Chain A
Amino acid sequence: MSENKTIRIIVTRQDRPDTAPYEEEFVIPYRPNMNIISALMEIRRNPVNAKGEKTTPVAWEMNCLEEVCGACSMVINGKPRQSCTALVDQLEQPIRLEPMRTFPVIRDLQVDRSRMFDSLKKVKAWIPIDGTYDLGPGPRMPERKRQWAYELSKCMTCGVCLEACPNVNSKSNFIGPAPLSQVRLFNAHPTGAMHKAERLEAIMGDGGLANCGNSQNCVQSCPKGIPLTTSIAALNRAATIQMFRNFFGSDEV
């Protein structure tokens, strides 16, 4: 009877950024090894809801389909995660899909994550290597450190940690765990460390590091297993030292 097997999906939809959200249920035919993306594609192929009414296809974002780009993040059965690696066989039905409402909703499951990219600019999450002449090779990075830093570099700016954080919301300007951890990554790099103080001072500004309330939901939710709370605590130590340097003075600028 497997040809008659179906999947029930309840999607929280929203037509425009300024309109009210509503729920719509879909029943779609089951195929083996489906993920949420292929289920949404099935709805797109035949946009008819559970009541048999014709409706608009559900809007969502996707790109890499292998959990490295972060674009397809949404709240699936109450937990934020990537829809490409959310397998239908492993999910309780009806499957509930919601947008990550911490971010402004553009349409249906599609959200605007610009604030994360703005935060990365704010904290200078890059390594400046441009000069007016060839600066030559930078200092070497020990292999052990490279392996350690690689874990932090897995961040794909997907927004799951911000969605899970109780301190990231419309009432606060907290930049969230992801950009903070990037400061730790770039400050650990031998060339990046030359701009360590600049990055630390950026996160010691409003909406920065100190707004973390240690609920530690981020580290539990990160799909890449990045030690976000360890990063935050390590930055807290670096910020404490920076604070003393700024106030009492130091040759290390």
Chain B
Amino acid sequence: MAQNREFFYRRLHSLLGVIPVGLFLTQHLVVNHFATRGADAFNKAAAFMEQLPFRYFLEIFVIFLPLLFHAIYGLYIAFTAQNNVSRYGYFRNWMFMLQRLTGIITLIFVVWHVWETRVQAAFGAEVNYDMMANIVANPFMLAFYIVGIVSAVFHFANGLWSFFVSWGITVTPRSQQISTYVTMGIFVALSIVGIRAILAFV
């Protein structure tokens, strides 16, 4: 059984990155976008998410466990690579390096973000518009959040590109090229959603 484990873990890593982690990221940014319609709209949307039935089940199996596996195995993958963009400055090699870099930035950001919001909520803090407004009132934290959001979105969009290759969906160079355009389009679009949302708390 020790054989074939690596293949299974890699494929699981690739799958979990998109479903459910990538889908959750998209949903999270979209819900946050309610903040652009004012504090009340955001609070209503956040309360709706909070009151979803089977909340703990959903949190554990749709968010935390897949995210933990993806993060820990991803760290292992990132540190087994020996980046060589200075010698091979090709576009895809840059994306390879950025995928690993944004993965690590995103992990640091997500750990901090979960601590500041979900863990504090478990200790009794109320997650609402004011909580976020207090956090991003600090310009350093606002910058950290923007870097974190852009990293996460890039990691998702470019990860989607790799997902299509890893599962054998995009095989020809042409399909991989088009896939680059589509996934980078997703990167730009989701970045706009995410940044507009965080700026709505300022």
How many chain B residues sit at the interface, stated as a range, is 35 or more
For residue A245, give the distance in angstroms from its CB to the closest CB of chain B. Answer: 14
For the complex, what is the distance from the CA of A164 to the CA of B92, rounded to whole Å? 13
Residues of B within 8 A of A78 (CB): 87
B51 close to A (CB within 8 Å) = no
B109 in contact (CB, < 8 A): no
Binds B, one of A16-24, A48-56, A124-132, A227-235: A227-235
Q: Which of B50-101 contact A (CB under 8 A)?
A: 77, 79-84, 87-88, 90, 92-93, 95-97, 99
- Chain B CB within 8 A of A156 CB: no
Selected contact of B165 from candidates A171, A204, A214, A238, CB within 8 Å: A214
Tell whether, in the assembled complex, residue A236 and residue B82 are in contact, meaning their CB atoms are under 8 Å apart.
no
- Alpha-carbon distance A215/B96, docked complex (angstroms): 5
Known: A166-B96, A217-B84. A207 touches B6 (CB 8 A): yes
Whether the Cβ atoms of A237 and B168 lie closer than 8 Å is yes
Is B92 within 8 A of A208, CB to CB? no
Complex interface: chain A residues within 8 A of B93 (CB):
166, 215-217
A221 in contact (CB, < 8 A): yes
Closest to B93 in A: A215
Within 8 Å of chain B (Cβ to Cβ): is A253?
no
Complex partner residue of B6 from A208, A215, A217, CB under 8 angstroms: A208
B37 within 8 A of A: no
Contact B7 A209 (CB under 8 A): yes
User: Contact: A233 with B165, CB < 8 Å?
Assistant: yes
Contact between A238 and B166, CB atoms less than 8 A apart: no
Contact A205 B80 (CB under 8 A): no
A92 to chain B, nearest CB (A): 15
Does A167 belong to the interface (CB within 8 Å)?
yes
On chain A, the residues within 8 Å of B80 by CB distance are 167, 169, 171-172
CB of B108 within 8 Å of the partner chain: no
On chain B, the residues within 8 Å of A209 by CB distance are 7
Q: Name the one of B7, B99, B169, B173 contacting A204, with C-beta atoms under 8 angstroms.
A: B7
Please count how many residues in chain A sit with their CB below 8 Å of the partner chain's CB atoms.
38
Q: Kindly list chain B residues whose C-beta atoms are within 8 Å of the C-beta of A172.
A: 80-81
Q: Could you say which residues of chain B place their CB within 8 Å of the CB of A229?
A: 173, 176
| A166, B84: Cβ atoms closer than 8 Å | yes
A240 in the interface (beta carbon within 8 A): yes
Chain B residues in 8 Å Cβ range of A166: 81-84, 93, 96-97
Q: How far is the CA of A103 from the CA of B37 in the complex (A)?
A: 59
Q: Which of A59-97 contact B (CB under 8 A)?
A: 78-79
Which chain A residue has the least Cβ–Cβ distance from B161? A214
Residue of B11, B84, B173 near A243 (CB, 8 A) is B11
In contact, A214 and B162 (Cβ under 8 angstroms): yes
Contact indicator A211/B96 (Cβ below 8 Å): no
Q: List 17 A-B contacts (CB under 8 A).
A: A78-B87, A79-B87, A164-B84, A171-B79, A171-B82, A172-B81, A205-B7, A206-B6, A215-B90, A216-B92, A217-B92, A229-B173, A230-B171, A233-B165, A236-B165, A236-B166, A240-B168
3 smallest beta-carbon distances between A and B, as pairs: A237-B168, A210-B10, A215-B96
Residues of A participating in the B interface, judged by any CB pair closer than 8 Å: 78-79, 164, 166-167, 169, 171-172, 201, 204-217, 220-221, 227, 229-230, 232-240, 243
